[in-house]
Structure 1
Amino acid sequence: MEIIGELPATIDTLVSKILFYALILASVSTITMTFLELIKVLISWRLKYHKRRVEIWLANNDCLEELLILTVAEVESADALFDQPTDKMMGQIQAATNVAIDFPKVYPNLYYFLTKPPKSKAAAVETGGTGMSPVVNEPTDAEIWKDFISREPYFEGDKLTELDRQRATSDLQSATKARARIDHFVARKLDAFQTQAEYEWARKNQYWSVGAAAALIFVLLLNLKFPVLPAVVLAFFGGMMAPLAKDVVAALSGLRGKS
């Protein structure tokens, strides 16, 4: 019974010690994140990252130029697009793709990039028919829509035969279906790019925050005359734990408050 009676005090002592070190790690995390955010602003890290990702994605300068014209009106204003958060940047790109699809002759490079069949044969089915038009000699959805939207429109005064009317109706139905599939395919293409970009951006930030926290802990330990090898080990684990320290502090503080 005496052991059980001493248990709350023992737990409280343990929590106090853990909380002490967690507060140190939380402070380290806050300091490193503050400096990282400052550095990212000073060197335009997000702008450079977005620009590099979009350039790799498009892989064509003419296509990039058309995208910039549709999003920020001129190539020289590219920074205004790339310096936005990823979701806002993708909103601008989505609006630009809609215009490019509506005017394929005006923006041929961007239209081709958005609608070109993917490398995977399975995914190519989504772009119309088998998606492998050179083999089966069938037009793709991109070709059907481009041909339809680029035609001269019919007017009420035009004299059309019944065959012309049937053909026009058939073409309209085919083009409508093609456009729907193109919209679906392009939306997935943009979503895939956004998912990859956001994942890579989050990972890079995580790696840099852990590395910076570990470096700061290592410097602090060296100033406290710690041997180099133990300092490296402690800095490594401390750097990994630093981003989680705030949650640990909040949980332990609540536990102590209840006790």
Structure 2
Amino acid sequence: MPLILALQSPPPIPDGVVIAVNQFTDFLLRYLGALAAVGALSMALIEAAKKLLDSRTKFQALRWTRWVMRTPLDRTITGEQAATHSSAMAQLIQLCTGVTDEEASLAAANLIASEGHLGLGHAFHTVPAHALFALELPRMMGSIQDAADVALASPPEYPDLYQLMTVGAKADDVERWYRDGSFALVSVADLNPTPEQRQAVKEHAERFARLRQIVKRKLDGFQLYTGDRWGSWNQAAANAVGMVAMFIVLTWVQRNGIGASISFPTLIVFSLLGGILSPVAKDLVSALKRVKDG
């Protein structure tokens, strides 16, 4: 019986192991605490730079302009002028921001000519036509979706934007909806339609649904890709600024004789590790404290 109880009871943990683990945890907490401070400083610097340089507006204007320019407009509607990227962009800007046609056309032409690059001093000389790109990405895409819906509802009024947004759809759907889709729905709204008219309305409704789904999928794809790239750039910037900040802190510590002396290669390694870990150091500190406290 005593043998069975001895086998069932857990073996005692050596005190030395507990002490070593606690010391290592305390070291990590101190190191990660410093990294958390560096991470907070880095994020503050990055946010200040983003506000000062209006980085969001520049980034989203660049991405959207490139997306527009990559969309081929080689297919035209019979009897209509060929759509252009500049005109499509102008119609979008006018619908989303409410600026005049002249302002929208000028802003669109400049964006296309510069391939989406806004000037370095853009933040100090803002243009109302660029307000669309200053919005957070979900709000910007919601505004663009609304403009696309307007173009789908009234294709002859916004022909270039309509053709831009429907690239990739069936040519017959694009052509027939442009010609008589919206008019056919309106013409039978207050009448007692015949079976033929009902069938035509059904076909036009299905055609509109197909076109709108294609537009929505394209815009959703753009939003996913752009959001991912924006997050990646922010993460890379946080790591880079964290590395520089950690290097400056460690260099200052070495010059003032605080703590143990370390070689320059070791300082570089610590700076690199600090830059990589600083954005997540706060979460690691919280996790280690929970482990230590049991």
| TM-score, normalised with respect to structure 1 | 0.83
Contact preservation (8 Å) 1:100, 1:106:
yes
1:103 aligns to what? 154
Contact preservation (8 Å) 1:105, 1:150:
no
Contact preservation (8 Å) 1:115, 1:186:
yes
Cα deviation, 1:56-115, whole Å, max 9, x if unaligned, reads 111222111111111111135223211111011111111111111001111111110111
Cα deviation, 1:204-240, whole Å, max 9, x if unaligned, reads 0000000110111122222315543322222112211
- Mapped partners of 1:156, 1:238: distance in 2: 67
- Mapped partners of 1:15, 1:227: distance in 2: 24
Code of the residue aligned with 1:144 in structure 2: it is R
1:58 aligns to what? 68
Code of the residue aligned with 1:147 in structure 2: it is R
SS in 2 for 1:105: helix
- Residue 179 of structure 2 corresponds to residue 147 of structure 1: yes
Say which of 39, 55, 59 aligns to 1:49: 59
Question: How is 1:13-24 mapped onto 2 (pairs within 5 angstroms)?
Answer: 13-24=23-34
Say which of 223, 232, 255 aligns to 1:194: 223
- Residue 285 of structure 2 corresponds to residue 249 of structure 1: yes
Code of the residue aligned with 2:62 in structure 1: it is R
Say which of 3, 6, 9 aligns to 2:19: 9
- CA 71–248 in structure 1, closer or farther in 2 if over 3 Å, else same: same
Contact preservation (8 Å) 1:148, 1:171:
no
- Mapped partners of 1:216, 1:110: distance in 2: 47
Unaligned stretches of 5+ in structure 2? 1-10, 70-84, 105-126, 256-261
- Residue 243 of structure 2 corresponds to residue 181 of structure 1: no
- Residue 133 of structure 2 corresponds to residue 82 of structure 1: yes
2:109 aligns to what? none
Code of the residue aligned with 1:40 in structure 2: it is K
Cα deviation, 1:148-175, whole Å, max 9, x if unaligned, reads 23647547999x9xxx945433322221
- The size of the alignment, in residue pairs, is 235
- Residue 260 of structure 2 corresponds to residue 209 of structure 1: no
- CA 193–157 in structure 1, closer or farther in 2 if over 3 Å, else same: closer
- CA 196–157 in structure 1, closer or farther in 2 if over 3 Å, else same: closer
- CA drift at 1:8: 2.3
- Mapped partners of 1:200, 1:106: distance in 2: 34
Contact preservation (8 Å) 1:23, 1:245:
yes
2:201 aligns to what? 172
| More off after superposition, 191-200 vs 144-153 | 144-153
Unaligned stretches of 5+ in structure 1? 118-126, 134-138
- Mapped partners of 1:93, 1:157: distance in 2: 31
1:122 aligns to what? none
Q: What's the RMSD between the two structures over aligned residues?
A: 2.4
Contact preservation (8 Å) 1:62, 1:109:
yes
Code of the residue aligned with 1:145 in structure 2: it is W
- Mapped partners of 2:181, 2:199: distance in 1: 14
1:73 aligns to what? 98
1:120 aligns to what? none
- CA 2–57 in structure 1, closer or farther in 2 if over 3 Å, else same: closer
- CA drift at 1:42: 0.5
Contact preservation (8 Å) 1:48, 1:82:
yes
1:121 aligns to what? none
- Mapped partners of 2:212, 2:188: distance in 1: 28
- CA 154–44 in structure 1, closer or farther in 2 if over 3 Å, else same: closer
Question: How is 1:114-129 mapped onto 2 (pairs within 5 angstroms)?
Answer: 114-117=165-168, 127=169
Contact preservation (8 Å) 2:188, 2:197:
no
Contact preservation (8 Å) 2:153, 2:182:
no
- CA drift at 1:9: 2.2
